Chains A and B, each alone.
Chain A
Amino acid sequence: MAFIKIMIVDDHQLFRGGIVSLLSKDEDIDVIGEASSAKELFHALKSKQPHVVLIDISLGETDGLETILKANDSHPNIRFIVLTMHAEGQYVVKAVRNGAYGYLLKNADEKELIEAIHNVFEGKKHFNEEISQLMIGNMAMEGEPHKNLSKREREVLKLVSNGKTTKEIADQLFVSTRTVETHRVNMMKKLKVQNTAELIKKAAHLKLI
């Protein structure tokens, strides 16, 4: 008795067929529907309630990741696994942010696919080693949320307050001197001050350094 209802959203019928036949081997999994686009998916969701949806990122005109975000609003119980060719951290991160429970590449083994479906059905998130690496590699370089001053601006400010020259700052942050100057000018604008001395004073007052 199959208890995991899944749907597959992919714009390639051949691939959908392949996945369906692959999953049919597993007794716990029941493919209750297919869709080639977000529109078809939402149409199908009116009559069927899958537990897990396998979804591709590129769906022709529509974007799978946006679809996850939308579906999370209207069908919060459905859990999405991204099944895609895109092996870049950015997509993984975006998928996670949009609420995907798993992220698999299309050349994943059937074993892993089935494992992932099970995990996700049980409420666990499934990201294998490779995908986690992609995600972490991407996260490592993520900027902090944008406050009054950006992370980079505060870095520059710190260096300025340490008495570093523009050239030194540029070398340290590997940006051009012009960029350092622009940062400095932008910070003065943001903090409404007229010169560097005032900038440092005000930044200290605001506990930015």
Chain B
Amino acid sequence: MFRHVRIKNKLALVMTALSCIVIGIFSTLFYLQFEIALKERVLLQLSSVKKLKVVQIENVINSRVEAIKHLLAQSDSTYNQQFFNSVVYLKSPGSVHINSYELTLPDTLNQGNIFIKDLSPENDEGFATLAFMAYNSGQYLVCIDTLTEIQSILLERTGLGQSGESYLVGEDYTMRSTSRFFPDKNPTTILARTSGAVRALRGETGEGIILDYRGVSVFSAFEKIAINGLEWVILSEIDYQEALFPLKSLRRNFYIMLVIMLAFVLLASYQLARLLVKPILRMEQYLNTMSRGVILEPQKDVDRNDEIGGMFRALDKLTTALQQTIEFAGRIGEGNFSANYQLLSEEDTLGAALLQMKQKLRDYQKNEERLLKENQQSIINGEEQERSRLSKEIHDGLGPLLTSLRLSIQAIPLEETHKKQLLKTLDDTITETRRMANNLMPSVLEDFGAGEAIKNLVIQLDQSSPLDIRYNQDTLEESKIPQKVNIVLYRIAQEALNNAIRHAQATEIRLSLTEFDEHVSLFISDNGSGFDQSTVLPGNGLRNMRERARLVDGSLVIYSDANGTSIEVEIPF
């Protein structure tokens, strides 16, 4: 599924997901840290509030205890009024009835001992009411007082927020101070057997998150107040909900932040992805066009140093290499088999294939050339052989018959002028026959080589026309020129002389044949009118000359202008 998502979206997705995870983890950690810190702080605050209250309450109770001590030392009625609702002196211990309170004096009271008893449950309003009992030199003292300051101390709710309260709990787990939540209820009817209260009564001082008497989750700090037999528990509590309200708002802020961040990350990552992907898309385009066989000019504007830059540089290399390859292939296509190509690497299969193709084509071409050459050679050779055969036929077949005839005529007794005429005609015939044989293929060419045959040609021309013709023959005594080369040289010389005289109206001709160790050079120059090689008409044998030279791997170069023509032939053997 993910494979079909476009890379841009993939990147954006991945980046967003990563950001989400990171933000999530950090937020959670922060949140948890914050929660822990917050809870600690709340509990600390509660403890300190509770501590303050404890001190204040202990002060209140202790002030009564001091007053009792004072009373024991000296009875002062005004003092009584100030501190206690009622003060009663008794002679003996046991049950006593004071102001609707029933109480029993314990007989364990010793001299100077003050014993406090909690009478709150018997108070109509359920106010914190205490009985202070003491014994002094034969008489018992009982003071009862409703400690109203305690209520006000507890109602002082500084540092306890909206839902916080401090309250007292007695040994019977009912409350000894007015509940904030049920202000009209008698506190002693409210049971507060919470784990905090239980633990505090056991003597623990501590704090924690517990369920309070309403069953609501609260932060609570609790401590036991134990003075002269009185055992109260004080709890300072604040609703869990309220205490952690900052956490809530933090969470909300987090959510808002998260949304903003997400939006930002999404946008940013999308943009970034687009930026990252853009060159990739461009690359895709390039590759697509390339796959259509269009090789674009290599990119020159890639100067990034990252992987994408690398990718483009690689593409650059690829296109350059491809262009080289294409150029090479094109050159091969044009038939330029001398084109060179440097393999791009060991594994350049395309290049290797092209090189192989070039080799094959070259071989093919060579082979074709060879075949063509062989064909042409065999044609020319065949022609020359045929000429040679014909020449010999005429020379050796017709010649002797004619000469025999001549002998016969000579032997016949005829009138002298007749005989002379006959013999003249016969001699002409013989001469003509020899000329024909010679034209076909001079026997001298076969028996003495091109040097001599050309010499005869020159002598013949020299005698038959007013030409200034000179020939420089520089062949070896034992000429090593092969017969087929001899024939080529002779035919070219024949053709060139023919052109010089017939077409160029030359009056001076110079020619030379020079034999070297492994090549022979024929040079013919004239002072004729010259010709333009590009517009020269076929049939003057130029092509024929070139062709003959080529077939024996020779070179033929012609220089021609208004001052004349020179032909240089070089043939290796």
Contacts and interface: CB of A to CB of B under 8 A. Distances in A.
A and B together in one complex? yes
Interface of A: 10-12, 14-15, 17-19, 21-22, 58, 60, 85-91, 94, 106-107, 109-110, 137-138, 141, 143, 145-146, 150-152, 170, 173-176, 178-179, 182-183, 186
Contact of A174 (B401, B406, B411, B472): B472
B570 A107 contact: no
Contacts of B442: 88
Interface stretch (B73-81, B297-305, B511-519): B511-519
24 contacts: A18-B403, A18-B404, A21-B407, A22-B411, A58-B392, A58-B395, A85-B403, A87-B434, A89-B456, A90-B448, A90-B452, A106-B399, A106-B400, A107-B430, A110-B410, A138-B455, A170-B523, A174-B470, A174-B510, A175-B512, A178-B570, A179-B512, A179-B523, A182-B521
Interface in B536-563: none
Interface string B424-467: 00110010001000000011100110001001100100000000
B477 interface: yes
A15 B516 contact: no
A72 to B, nearest CB: 20
A182 B396 CA distance: 42
A141 B517 CA distance: 21
A174 B454 CA distance: 15
B390 to A, nearest CB: 15
B408 interface: yes
A176 B523 contact: yes
B456 A179 contact: no
B473 A141 contact: yes
Given A106-B430, A109-B410, 18 more contacts: A12-B401, A15-B404, A18-B403, A18-B404, A18-B408, A58-B395, A88-B452, A90-B452, A107-B403, A141-B471, A143-B473, A152-B514, A174-B512, A174-B525, A176-B523, A176-B570, A178-B521, A183-B514
Contacts of A151: 474
Contacts, number: 119
Nearest to B555: A178
Nearest to A21: B411
A29 B566 CA distance: 57
Contacts of A178: 521, 568, 570
B410 A176 contact: no
B476 interface: yes
B568 A90 contact: no
B521 A175 contact: yes
A4 B174 CA distance: 187
Nearest to A19: B407
B432 to A, nearest CB: 12
B217 to A, nearest CB: 118
B525 to A, nearest CB: 6
A110 B474 CA distance: 40
Contact of B514 (A14, A94, A179): A179
Given A10-B400, A14-B404, A88 B477 contact: no
Given A58-B395, A179-B512, A152 B521 contact: no
A63 to B, nearest CB: 8
Contacts of B570: 176, 178
Contacts of A176: 521, 523, 566, 568, 570
A146 B476 contact: yes
Contacts of A173: 472, 512
Contacts of B472: 152, 173-175
Contacts of A58: 392, 395-396, 443
A26 to B, nearest CB: 13
A145 B434 CA distance: 32
Given A14-B401, A146-B476, A175 B444 contact: no
Nearest to B448: A90
Contacts of B566: 176
A136 to B, nearest CB: 11
Contacts of A89: 456, 459
Contact of A141 (B392, B434, B455): B455
A60 B392 CA distance: 10
Nearest to A12: B400
A182 to B, nearest CB: 6
Interface in B100-114: none
The 7 closest A-B pairs by CB, nearest first: A174-B510, A18-B407, A12-B400, A106-B403, A176-B568, A152-B474, A14-B404
A90 B444 contact: yes
A60 B396 CA distance: 8
B443 A88 contact: yes
B459 to A, nearest CB: 6
B510 A15 contact: no
Contact of A12 (B404, B474, B521): B404
A68 B525 CA distance: 41
B474 A143 contact: yes
Contacts of B476: 146
A131 to B, nearest CB: 15
Given A14-B404, A107-B403, A141-B473, A90 B447 contact: yes
Could you say which of A110, A141, A174 has the most chain B C-beta atoms within 10 Å of its C-beta?
A174
Nearest to B400: A12
Interface in B374-420: 392, 395-396, 399-401, 403-404, 406-408, 410-411
Contacts of B470: 174
Given A85-B395, A150-B474, A174-B525, A107 B427 contact: yes
Given A107-B406, A107-B430, A178-B568, A85 B399 contact: yes
A88 B456 contact: yes
Nearest to A10: B400
B410 to A, nearest CB: 5
Nearest to B566: A176
Given A15-B400, A141-B473, A174 B523 contact: yes
Contacts of A150: 474
A107 B114 CA distance: 190
A168 to B, nearest CB: 14
B439 to A, nearest CB: 14
A61 to B, nearest CB: 12
A60 B516 CA distance: 33
A146 B474 CA distance: 11
Nearest to A146: B477
A179 to B, nearest CB: 5
B568 A85 contact: no
Could you say which of A151, A170, A186 has the most chain B C-beta atoms within 10 Å of its C-beta?
A170
Contacts of B510: 174
Interface in B18-65: none
A133 to B, nearest CB: 10
A91 B475 CA distance: 17
A94 B472 CA distance: 21
